[in-house]
């Protein structure tokens, strides 16, 4: 019975995700949520257990959110952005955790919501290559400014196209491919090397 409930919940999440894709294909950028295996592969690229403040961009149905909370310390915090208000509302209902704040707003507004200091980790599931150029640049600008000097930004994409832009902005980018996803996912872990410029001011 418990297994049947889990399967029903999963089918409901997938249906919600697909509806959102049909309504806004360029913003959602995928027909299925990221696989559990790819989520784990991505989060293995950053020291999430020691992070005080974590930010998630494009939380969707929460596949990263749950795994992040499982890995985070009891007194850490997670600020999750999801522009689709229905998905954000479902996420708030499904994952109740005092460390989590779900913001139904664009990731472009990150600076206005990150009150307690820079983020130690930023985890992005945003489809950067299909977002409007202005939104992509605004989000990367704000994320770059919000990241602590020794923080890590993780980015999942379905192509390697963004890699050059990430390298120019952050200085150091490690790449891994997770084959256990439809389609296979490119995972990027970005850290700031001393030479990398921070747009809008140095930290
Ligand atoms: C490819 S889906 C990833 C969802 C989830 N993280 C996953 O891996 O299954 C991208 C998500 O980003 C959201 N999104 C798109 N543009 C956004 C923005 N500017 N700010 C916040 N969320 C956004 C979409 O609504 C969608 O839920």
pLDDT 10s digits, 57-111: 999 999 999 999 999 999 999 999 999 999 999 999 999 999 999 999 999 999 9
**What residue owns the CA closest to ligand 1's atom 2?**
28
Interior/surface letters 156-184, b for 16+ CB within 10 angstroms, e for the rest: bbbeeebbeebbebbeebebeebeebeee
Give the chain's mean pLDDT. 92
Separation of CA 1 and ligand 1 centre (Å): 31
The string of pLDDT tens digits covering residues 31-44 is 889 999 999 999 99
Pocket-testing residue among 23, 43, 60, ligand 1, by greatest number of atoms within 8 A of Cβ: 60
Separation of CA 82 and ligand 1 centre (Å): 6
Could you give the residue ranges of the DSSP H alpha helices within 47-124?
A: 63-71, 85-94, 110-113
The string of pLDDT tens digits covering residues 45-57 is 999 999 999 999 9
Question: What is the predicted pLDDT for the residue at 115?
Answer: 86
Separation of CA 193 and ligand 1 centre (Å): 27
In this structure, the number of other CB atoms found within 10 A of the CB of residue 203 comes to: 12
Residue in the structure block whose two tokens are 């140095």: 202
Domains and CATH numbers, the chain: 2-192 (3.40.50.150)
HSE on the CB side for 107, CA within 13 Å?
Answer: 30
pTM over 0.85: yes
The angle subtended at Cα 124 by Cα 180 and Cα 81, nearest 5°, is 125
Percentage with pLDDT > 90 across the chain: 76
pLDDT surpassing 70 at residue 161: yes
**What residue owns the CA closest to ligand 1's atom 13?**
58
- Over residues 129-137, the mean pLDDT reads 96
**What residue owns the CA closest to ligand 1's atom 12?**
58
Q: What is d(CA 187, CA 178) in angstroms, rounded to the nearest whole number? A: 7
Question: What is the predicted pLDDT for the residue at 200?
Answer: 43
Question: What is the predicted pLDDT for the residue at 4?
Answer: 80
What band does 201 get if pLDDT is binned at 50, 70 and 90? very low
């Amino acid at each position: 019975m418990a297994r049947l409930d889990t399967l029903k919940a999963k089918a409901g999440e997938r249906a919600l995700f697909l509806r959102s894709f049909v309504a806004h294909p360029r913003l959602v950028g995928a027909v299925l949520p990221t696989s559990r295996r790819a989520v784990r592969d991505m989060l293995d690229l950053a020291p999430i257990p020691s992070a005080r403040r974590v930010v998630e961009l494009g939380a969707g149905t929460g596949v990263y959110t749950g795994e992040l909370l499982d890995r985070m310390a009891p007194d850490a915090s997670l600020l999750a952005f999801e522009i689709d208000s229905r998905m954000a509302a479902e996420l708030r209902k499904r994952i109740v955790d005092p460390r989590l704040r779900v913001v139904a707003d664009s990731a472009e507004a990150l600076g206005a919501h990150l009150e307690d200091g820079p983020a130690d980790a930023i985890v992005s599931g945003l489809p950067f290559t299909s977002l409007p150029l202005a939104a992509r640049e605004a989000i990367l600008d704000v994320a770059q400014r919000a990241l602590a000097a020794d923080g890590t930004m993780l980015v999942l994409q379905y192509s390697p196209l963004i890699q050059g832009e990430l390298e120019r902005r952050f200085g150091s980018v490690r790449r891994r491919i997770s084959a256990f996803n439809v389609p296979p996912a490119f995972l990027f872990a970005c850290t700031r090397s001393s030479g990398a410029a921070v747009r809008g001011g140095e930290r």
